[in-house]
Structures are given as C-alpha cells and as structure tokens.
Structure 1
Amino acid sequence: MIKNSLVKRSVINVIKQNILLSGLLIFAVCGVVVSSLIPPQILKHIIDNNLVPEKGSGLFVLAIAYMAVLLFIGLFDFIKGAILTIIGQKIIKEIRLEMIHKLEKINALFFSYNESGAVVSRFTNDVEAVSSLFTGGIVGMMIDCFKIIGIIASIWMFSEKLGIVTLLLLPFIYGITRLFQKRMLKVQMENRVLVGKVNNHISESLKNIEMIKSCSKESYMENNYAEYLLENFKTVEKVNFYDSVFSPIIQLTRAVVIGFMVILSSGQLNYLGISLGMVAASIDLISNLFSPIENLGMELQSIQYAVSGIRRVNDFYNEPEDECKNNQIKADDVIQNREEINISFNDVAFNYEKDTDVLQGISLQIKPQEKVAFVGRTGVGKSTLFKLIMGLLKPAKGSITINGYDVYGIPNSEKRKIFGYVDQSFHMIKGTVAEQISLQDESITKEQICNALDFVGLADYVESLKNGIETEIAGDSLFSQGQKQLLSIARAIVTNPPILLLDEITANLDSITEEKIVSVLQKAGHAHTILSISHRLSSVVFSDTVVILENGRIRSIGSPETLLKNDDWYRKHAALERLTWG
C-alpha cells in the first residue's frame, strides 16, 4: 500500500515469531467454517430417517452428534477469538514500539505542523484501528465468505432451484444491510462530533469558570450547552430509529423467504422436489445465511476504517528523520574551555514552507559569557532561532557553529552538557523533586541536584518538604508559578552547561517574582553565555547585547543604552512599556 510499510513489516514479524499460534488460528478458522455447516446436515438425517413414520432408529446418536457439533462450533469460535486477541495485542505492541523508536529520530519540523493530540491519536486510535483490521476485519470477512459459500453449496446439493433462489437473494440482503449501515455510520460519526463538542464545552466551562462568572456569561454558556445537547439528542434518536427498524426488516425478509421456500416445497406444489428433512435443513441454512451477510457489511466498514489508520501510521513512519549525527563529536570536544565559547551565525536562513522565509541572512558573532537578548514582534522567528541554535532544526541556508562545530551535527545525547534550555512554562514529570531536575538521568548526582537547588534559592524550601528532594510530586500544589520557573532554571543548569537559552521565562510572572528570577540569572551570567527571548524590554537591561528582529532579519543590534538612543522602534516600545507597567 505504501512504500516502507511499518504495518506490513510488524504483522510479518509477529507471524514469524508466532508460527505455532498462527497455525492454530488457521485450524480454528477452518473448524468454525466446516463445523457450522454440519448441524443442518444432521438435522436433515434426524427428520428424514428418524422422525418420518416407518423410518429406522438412531435418533439418540444423531441428537448426541448434533449437540457435539454445536459444542465444537463454540470451541473453535472461542479458540479463534482468543488467538486473534493475542495476535492483535502483539501487533499493537510491535507497531507502537516501532513508532516510539521512530519518534526519537523524527525531524523536529514534524512537531511544528502537528499538535500533540494529533500525534497521540496516531499511537492510540490509528493503531487500534490497524489491530481491528487483523483481529476482526480480514479474518472475520474470510470466515463469513467461506460460510456463505458453504451454505450456498449445501443448499445447491439439496436442490439446484433452491440454490438459484438463494443466489438471487444475496444481493437483496446485502443491499438492505449496506443501506442501513451506511446511514447508521453517517449518523454515528455526527454523534461522535457532537459528543466531542459537549465534552469540550464542559471542559472549557470548568477551565474558564472565573472569567464566565466575572463577565456574567453563564446564560450564554448554558444556551450553547443546551444547543449541543439537543443536536446530540437528535442524532441519538436517528441511531435508535435505524437500529430499531433494521432488525424487524431483516426478520421479516427471513420469514418471507422461508415461507416462500416452504410453499414451493409443499405437497400441493412440490416444485423443489426435496424431502421434509431437506426443507428443515434448508430453513436452518437460510436462517444462518443472514448473519454472515450482515457481518460482511460491518467488516467492510471496519476494514475501510482500518485502512485509513494504516495510511496514517505509515505516513508517520515515513516522516523525514534527522540527518545522521556525527557520533564521534562529544560535548568535551566542543567546550574544551568554558571561557572560550564562541557562537557564530553564518548567513542563516530558514523556512517552514517553501519560498516563505521565517529567517534570512542572520549573521552574528556571540562572545564567551556574553548575555544576548533577542526581541521583536510576535512571529518574527525568535523561538525558531532558538531551535536552530540547539540543532533541532537544520537551516535552509548557512550554519550555526559553536567553536567551529556545526550544532546540527552534534548528537542529541551530548546537547544537555552544552545547552540549558528554560521555557516559559515548567513541565512536570511523574517522580520526585530530584527527578524533576535530573529528568531521571542516572549520571546526575544528588550533589549536583542540591547545588542546582541552592543556586536558584530553593534549597531551604525543598528541605522543608516531608522527604526533601525525594518528595513525590502528586500535583501542582507543592510549588508556586515562580518556584516552578526556578525549578526549570535548576533543571537547565544541573549539568553545568556553558550556554543557557531562556525563552520568555518571565512572560507569565508578576514584577516581584520577575526580579527574583532576573537576580538568579544575573548570578548565572558570571559563568554562562546567556541567550534570551524577552517580550518585556525591562528584562533586557541586564543584557550586554540586544538583537532586534524584524521580518526575519536583524533590524538593529547593540547595547540597551545604545539602542535607546539610536533606534526608534526600541525607544518607542520602551516608553510604551514604562507607561503600561509603570
């Protein structure tokens, strides 16, 4: 279906690793199909040879055989279901392991186009859909097709005329089934969308409850909720209508067909020329014919759904990967002397989409332990520039080097020893306070963690917790927003990297907390090269150099004092900020 198919390879691997299980599955499938055709034949013999007057005995043996075959049908069906479940879970495991391995190598550009929820759905919904293809879709369709063929062959053996009638009946039954299933699927999809709207509305209401109350928008939110519920109720009514109508129509069709067959076989007409036992067996077979035809419609639906999942999984697997890193480069090679860290931007250009440059012609030299702030309007490429500096993205043109080493070629495993990155929000992980800082890196010692906490001024607070740095984090209640930002700085500096990257870390803080953060960063500036993105010009006064970005280019560069004198944009925004913040 797609070149380099992850799904195909995973399925083949699972089958190769479970030859015995796969063989048992084939045996169970054959058993289900064959054994399901035997009861009508036994029923024919019971009636023709034992219940019709003046016939021989043997009813007890046939009754036992009939029940035994039904038992075998159930047994084979159980074995089939159990094996399909086991194989399905193994396929899911294989695919997800391959996908997580792929995720580690995938180009960072992928995450610029895909939200986290969309990526998670690839690992959950799409992989589950793939599993359903092999556990129910294809195997179920094969069984039902064989059952239909077997039933028609059995009926044909009784009477060619009845076999022709049965063949003519197939398109009619299938047409009715597909008509209802398509309509039900359409309504169910609408219902899923509306259920999502209802759930999302509840989530938004809870998240923004304070704003809703302060703006007196309770009635507005209630009316929207009522509207979503009404629309959802209408789709549920449609689903219930189709569900309630479909079953009686199928039952009525079955009754008409059986009645028609009985009339044709009656003594008055005797059109089919078959015995009473054959009539009973044919009724049983025709009754059983409806079930696999109904299942075929559902299985086709399932396969169509699964195929879309396969495509999405394979599309993910075929996403571009990071170019091979030079594993020979070590952090110690790049930073042989912490006091001689030179960062060079060499005519750097970058675009997310072809012919649409986000950055262009960026050339800049950053000296050892220099503090540089990047400022500019939202969307000028400041955060993109940081991703380029860390080697997460590759420039479309030019290069960024540290002491002559291209950052994109440095292995990701070495980068934490070179860069310390601080975002404007702190992302907690499951674990202790110490693990929030070490990120469960076993090479980071307890002494390093304590030193990092002491550096940012959180040592006393953490020590006051029940188990100190070994206190388990059970939520967001232990630390305030400002303390979380200090934790993020501790996480960044715990490996003592020579370069710190600060991405608008004071954006969501009050002025008092901001001053505390800035004082910590001033202390860090004595031993680190600090590159920062700031939306408040008041924060850049502690920087040696300010780089103003505009339209993807460097508009101006200089010290805060120089720019205040010579750059109109900087002077205007500094004055506006003083007026706003006081």
Structure 2
Amino acid sequence: MNNSLTKKSLYQVIQKNQGLIALLIFVVLGVVVISLIPPQILKIIIDNNLVPKNREGLMRWAIVYLIVLLFIGVFDFLKEAILTVLGQRVTKEIRMEMMVKLGKINSQFFSSHETGAVVSRFTNDVDAINTLFTSGVVGMVISSFKIIGIVISIWFFSYKLGLLTLLLLPIIYGIIRLFQKRMLQAQIKNRILVGQVNNHISESLNNMLMIKSYSKEKYMEQNYNRYLLDNFLTLDKVNFYDAVFSPLIQILRAIVIASIVILSSAQLNFLGMSLGMIAASIELISNLFEPVENLGMQLQNIQQAVSGVRRVNEFYMEPEEDGKNDKLTAAKIIPDRSAVRLKFDNVSFRYETGTDILKNINLTLNPLEKVTFVGRTGVGKSTLFKLIMGTLQPTEGVISINGIDVCAIPNREKRRIFGYVEQRFHFIKGTVAEQISLQDEGITRGKIEEALRFVGMMEYIESLENSLDTEVTSDSLFSQGQQQLLAIARAIVTDPPLLLLDEITANLDSITEERVISVLQKASSAHTVLSISHRLSSMIASDSVVILENGRVKNAGSPEVLLQDDDWFSSQVALERLTWH
C-alpha cells in the first residue's frame, strides 16, 4: 500500500531522527563486533601466558578483557535505549495518525466494528508494530550477524569445527523453535482463559441481583470453577515448558562442549586446535545458543507485527466522510432559529449491503415544529436521527437544513445546531461541569449553570462536596432520572435550534418521567423538536406525528387527526390508556 499508515509514520520518524538512527547503526555494529573479541583475548591469554606459564603481559590482557566486557555492556545499554526511544516515537506517530483518521472515518464504520476491536487496533496492534522495530527487525539483524561472526571465528580456529557448527545450527534452531511455538500456543490459550475468568467475574457482579432472584448461584459457581480449572491446566502447561526449556538448553550446550573437548583430546586430536583455541571455541559455542534462541523469538515477533501492520493499514484505508464544507458555520446555516426548515428528499438507507432500513422518506418539517416519530421497534427511528445529524450518510437522497446537506456540516459545528438526548447518559472522565460542557472551551461556566438551573439540577449539584468541580468517579452519584436531566442540560447548553429526543423516558418510572417531560415541554418552546417515543402517552405535545412502518412513512399528521384516521395509532393509544389505568 503506497499510502499505508505505517510507511508514512515510519518515514516521518526517520526524517525527524536521522542522527539517532545513524547512532543506532553504529551501536549495532559495535555490539556485534565487540561481542566477538573476548574469546579471541581468552585464546591469547591461554596460548601465550597460561600454557607456557609466561606471566608477562597477563595483567595487561586481563585489563583489556574487562574493558571489552565493559564496552559490551555500554553498547548493549545504548542499543536498548535507542530502540526504546525510536519504538515509542514510531508508536506515538502511528497512534497520532490513527486518531486523525478516526476523526475523518465514515461513521458507518462503527456500525460494523465493535468498540473493543477498534481499541485493539490502537493498543495491541500498534504495540505489535513497536516490537517490529525493537525486538523484531533490529534484533534479528543483530542475532544474524552474531551467528555469522561466531561461525567465522570458529572457522578460523578449525574448519572442521566450523563445519560441525554449521551442522549444529539447524538442530539447535529446530529444538528451540519447537519449544517456543508450544509455549506461545499455551500462553495465548492462557490469555484467552484469563479473559473468560475476568468476564465471568464482571458478569456475575453486574447481574448479581438477577442471579440471586433466579437462584442461579450454583450455576455461576460451577462455570467459574470450570474456567478456573481450565486456566490452571493451561498455566500448568506454560510452567512446564518454562521449567523444561532452560535445563534442556543447558544439557545440549554441555553435550556440545563435551564433544569439542573429546574431539580435541590428545588421543583423537581431530580438530587440531591449541588449548587457547579450544577454550575460545567453547566460549563461542556457548555464546551461539543465545542469538539462535533470540532469532526464533524475533521471527515470531515479526510475524505478529506483520499482522498488526496489516490490521492498522486496513483501518487507515477505511473510507472517510466526504463532502464536508469547512467554511460552513452554524450561524451561516441557521441565521434565524425561527426559520429552521428540515427537509427529507427521497431518503433511503441501508447498512453495508443489507436490506433497506429506511426507504424513500419524503418530509418537510416547519420552523419550531414539534414532531414525534413512532413505530414498532426496529423500524428505523434511531437510524433516522443519526441521518439527521449527519453521523450516517443516506444511501440515497438528501437531508437538508435550510437547503444545506447535513452531511456537509463540519463536525465542530454540529453541537451548535443539534441537541441530542438519548436513553442513556454517557459519563466522561472529569468534573460535573465537564459532563455538561464535554470540555468544550467555548462553553462558559455561566452557560453550564444556566443549563443546570433550567433542568432543576443546580440545587442538588451545589449540595455536592465541590459543587460543579466535583469529580465524577461513578455513575452512582446520580439517579437514573438525574442522569436524564443531565443529558438534557448537556444538549441545551449550546442553545441549539434543533432538539432530538431519542426515547428518553424509556427507562424511567412514572414520577421521574413526568418531571423530565415537564422540563422538555419548557425547553421545546424555542426549539424545533424531533422526538422518538416508545409510549404515545408520554409524548411531548406534538404538532404532528410521523408513523414509520417497514422503513417507510406510513402516515403523518396531527395527533387528533391520526386518532381518527389511523387504526394502529388509535389502538396503541387506547391500549396504553387501558394499561395505565
């Protein structure tokens, strides 16, 4: 993908950090070269000083040996530090680009993708990409060069041992990869089972009243025990592989070292090496296991990272909202709130390639009109509201305000035009004031207080410890009815000309419902109000009612006319009155 997000982000990081990348290349070369020096020094010490028992220069070589080890530690530290910094900068760049993309992406994307899946792309997938540049590609290059350097060094000592080392490499790699794959599979399964245990705990806590009401404690306990047992067995397997792997490598290393000693013995002298060469070769062979083991892990990390790159790029290639006119403002679209005209022109909508949710909707709503949309569940009422606000784009047709397509309105202006109240109030991290302003700097404290007084919540909020500055750490701070009043305050704080009310009394008791309805009646006097009502008896006094059926407008007119002309409407009202009494 020429326009892939990772390529773009990586290019930007490279451009901004050229000096750091040059230093990384130097450090990587230093790590590889210096790690090969200690065995060579060991060879010189043994052959020139220890075997002939010549103490001259021994102290000098010992100091050199220690200095080289010190340099290895310094270069390793610098390598890890630089990789961490670069990895974090790559991660930051990718996430920043993804956040920009998220603001432009077509809203229909969120209808077909769960929140958890989107979050996973920002977290797990980007973290996987980070490993591509830390323990992935760079680590694999270092491990590969170390292996090559070790083989070459051994070859100079004895070409026979060099050939044996080349034959040994695939055996070591095969054993290590076998264990790594088994351990990875067990760890992945363990993570899944840990997730099941956590989900079960959360589900039990959230539904404790229902569990007790239906005497399902034993059933939930049995499920919990099963999840715990499965998790224990999987974790036991992970621990088994962890416990066996290290001793196995140690045994394999010991066998290889013993073989070198035997082949170099006076009786066989197959390798034809001096004592110093044998000692150096043993150290080199011992050092060979680490890069081979790392190489297996790095290949595994790269495979996971490639999957992350693909998923992030798929996100980046998602279609964006088009047709936005950045020059449009709320004041230009609606210069006079008493002259708001909302029009549906042959509007149809379907999710992806499914059947039409809405079909050929044609309506014109007059300024300051109060319109209620009714119909059976699933008929498309909430979808219609999302189309009105431009968060979804019609498959066919246009919805316009004063002749301007709602899909052309910039997102930053929508809150000045639409006040949306839904069934559930969604809290954000912050104070009570920020629950209303949504951290919009254009909304003053005075406006927040005015909105809260309007809905009758200011007295209760002043009773809180820090009034408007009280941190909302739990939704239990407010009752269900108070949350709905907060939702109304959030909607009207910008004084938008259009209010959209989406079944806001669905979960309220009758007393709270009456209070919310009275607040909305007061708010509706200066607004064009569109509402969805699940109970016709709880409708705000409406100028007209639109009945939706099978995605179409079945009937429309004043409540009085529909009571006479529409059998479904009149029967629903009669049934509710009977139930109510």
CA drift of 1:84 comes to 0.9
CA drift of 1:473 comes to 3.0
Q: State the alpha-carbon separation in 1 of the partners of residues 571 and 83 from structure 2.
A: 69
Alignment of 1:160-175 (within 5 A): 160-175=159-174
Q: State the alpha-carbon separation in 1 of the partners of residues 313 and 26 from structure 2.
A: 31
Q: State the alpha-carbon separation in 2 of the partners of residues 26 and 576 from structure 1.
A: 79
CA drift of 1:53 comes to 3.1
2:38 counterpart of 1:8? no
Alignment of 1:331-350 (within 5 A): 331-350=330-349
Q: Which residue of 1 aligns with 2:176?
A: 177
CA drift of 1:130 comes to 1.1
Q: State the alpha-carbon separation in 2 of the partners of residues 416 and 235 from structure 1.
A: 51
Q: State the alpha-carbon separation in 1 of the partners of residues 453 and 215 from structure 2.
A: 46
CA drift of 1:569 comes to 2.8
**Given residue 196 of structure 1, which amino acid in structure 2 is its aligned partner?**
G
Q: State the alpha-carbon separation in 2 of the partners of residues 102 and 580 from structure 1.
A: 50
Q: State the alpha-carbon separation in 2 of the partners of residues 463 and 297 from structure 1.
A: 62
Alignment of 1:203-214 (within 5 A): 203-214=202-213
**Given residue 134 of structure 1, which amino acid in structure 2 is its aligned partner?**
F
Tell me if the contact between 1:541 and 1:560 (Cα under 8 Å) persists in the aligned partners.
Answer: no
Alignment of 1:307-318 (within 5 A): 307-318=306-317
Q: Secondary structure at the match of 2:415?
A: helix
Q: State the alpha-carbon separation in 2 of the partners of residues 523 and 55 from structure 1.
A: 103
TM-score, normalization: structure 1?
0.96
**Given residue 416 of structure 2, which amino acid in structure 1 is its aligned partner?**
K
Q: State the alpha-carbon separation in 2 of the partners of residues 367 and 95 from structure 1.
A: 46
Q: Which residue of 2 aligns with 1:30?
A: 29
Q: Secondary structure at the match of 2:36?
A: helix
CA drift of 1:82 comes to 0.9
Q: State the alpha-carbon separation in 1 of the partners of residues 206 and 128 from structure 2.
A: 32
Q: Secondary structure at the match of 1:526?
A: helix
Q: Which residue of 2 aligns with 1:245?
A: 244
Instruction: Name the CA shift for 1:581/1:143 in 2 (closer, same or farther; >3 Å).
Output: farther
CA drift of 1:340 comes to 1.7
Q: Which residue of 2 aligns with 1:401?
A: 400
Alignment of 1:491-506 (within 5 A): 491-506=490-505
Worse overlay, 407-416 or 37-46? 407-416
Structure 1 regions of 5+ residues with no counterpart? none
Tell me if the contact between 1:540 and 1:546 (Cα under 8 Å) persists in the aligned partners.
Answer: no
Q: Which residue of 2 aligns with 1:288?
A: 287
CA drift of 1:9 comes to 1.8
Q: Which residue of 2 aligns with 1:153?
A: 152
**Given residue 205 of structure 1, which amino acid in structure 2 is its aligned partner?**
S
Q: State the alpha-carbon separation in 2 of the partners of residues 425 and 78 from structure 1.
A: 52
Alignment of 1:225-236 (within 5 A): 225-236=224-235
CA drift of 1:121 comes to 1.6
> Residues 33-80 of structure 1, C-alpha deviation per residue, up to 9 Å, x if partnerless?
111101111111111111113657322111111111111111100111
Aligned residues: 581
> Residues 384-422 of structure 1, C-alpha deviation per residue, up to 9 Å, x if partnerless?
111110111211111011111111111122211211111
**Given residue 499 of structure 1, which amino acid in structure 2 is its aligned partner?**
L
Q: Which residue of 2 aligns with 1:298?
A: 297
Tell me if the contact between 1:540 and 1:560 (Cα under 8 Å) persists in the aligned partners.
Answer: no
Q: State the alpha-carbon separation in 1 of the partners of residues 359 and 416 from structure 2.
A: 29
Q: State the alpha-carbon separation in 2 of the partners of residues 215 and 203 from structure 1.
A: 18
RMSD: 1.7
Q: Secondary structure at the match of 1:35?
A: helix
Q: Which residue of 2 aligns with 1:65?
A: 64
Q: Secondary structure at the match of 2:525?
A: coil
Q: State the alpha-carbon separation in 2 of the partners of residues 360 and 477 from structure 1.
A: 41
> Residues 501-557 of structure 1, C-alpha deviation per residue, up to 9 Å, x if partnerless?
011111111111111111111112221111111222222362222222222111222
Q: Which residue of 1 aligns with 2:124?
A: 125
Q: State the alpha-carbon separation in 1 of the partners of residues 55 and 440 from structure 2.
A: 83
Q: State the alpha-carbon separation in 2 of the partners of residues 193 and 472 from structure 1.
A: 35
Q: Secondary structure at the match of 2:294?
A: helix
Instruction: Name the CA shift for 1:139/1:579 in 2 (closer, same or farther; >3 Å).
Output: farther
TM-score, normalization: structure 2?
0.96
Instruction: Name the CA shift for 1:193/1:499 in 2 (closer, same or farther; >3 Å).
Output: same
Tell me if the contact between 2:545 and 2:557 (Cα under 8 Å) persists in the aligned partners.
Answer: yes
> Residues 281-313 of structure 1, C-alpha deviation per residue, up to 9 Å, x if partnerless?
111111111111111111111111111111122
Q: Secondary structure at the match of 1:532?
A: strand
Tell me if the contact between 2:520 and 2:540 (Cα under 8 Å) persists in the aligned partners.
Answer: no
Tell me if the contact between 1:358 and 1:380 (Cα under 8 Å) persists in the aligned partners.
Answer: yes
2:426 counterpart of 1:427? yes
**Given residue 523 of structure 1, which amino acid in structure 2 is its aligned partner?**
K
Q: Which residue of 1 aligns with 2:558?
A: 559
**Given residue 393 of structure 1, which amino acid in structure 2 is its aligned partner?**
L
Q: Which residue of 2 aligns with 1:261?
A: 260
Q: State the alpha-carbon separation in 2 of the partners of residues 470 and 284 from structure 1.
A: 66
Tell me if the contact between 1:49 and 1:57 (Cα under 8 Å) persists in the aligned partners.
Answer: no
Tell me if the contact between 1:342 and 1:365 (Cα under 8 Å) persists in the aligned partners.
Answer: yes
Tell me if the contact between 1:7 and 1:314 (Cα under 8 Å) persists in the aligned partners.
Answer: yes
Instruction: Name the CA shift for 1:477/1:232 in 2 (closer, same or farther; >3 Å).
Output: closer
Q: State the alpha-carbon separation in 2 of the partners of residues 257 and 290 from structure 1.
A: 11
CA drift of 1:487 comes to 1.3
Q: State the alpha-carbon separation in 2 of the partners of residues 417 and 258 from structure 1.
A: 77
Structure 2 regions of 5+ residues with no counterpart? none
Tell me if the contact between 2:323 and 2:407 (Cα under 8 Å) persists in the aligned partners.
Answer: no
Worse overlay, 137-146 or 52-61? 52-61
**Given residue 553 of structure 1, which amino acid in structure 2 is its aligned partner?**
R
Q: State the alpha-carbon separation in 2 of the partners of residues 146 and 225 from structure 1.
A: 50
Q: Which residue of 1 aligns with 2:44?
A: 45
CA drift of 1:170 comes to 0.8
Q: Which residue of 2 aligns with 1:84?
A: 83
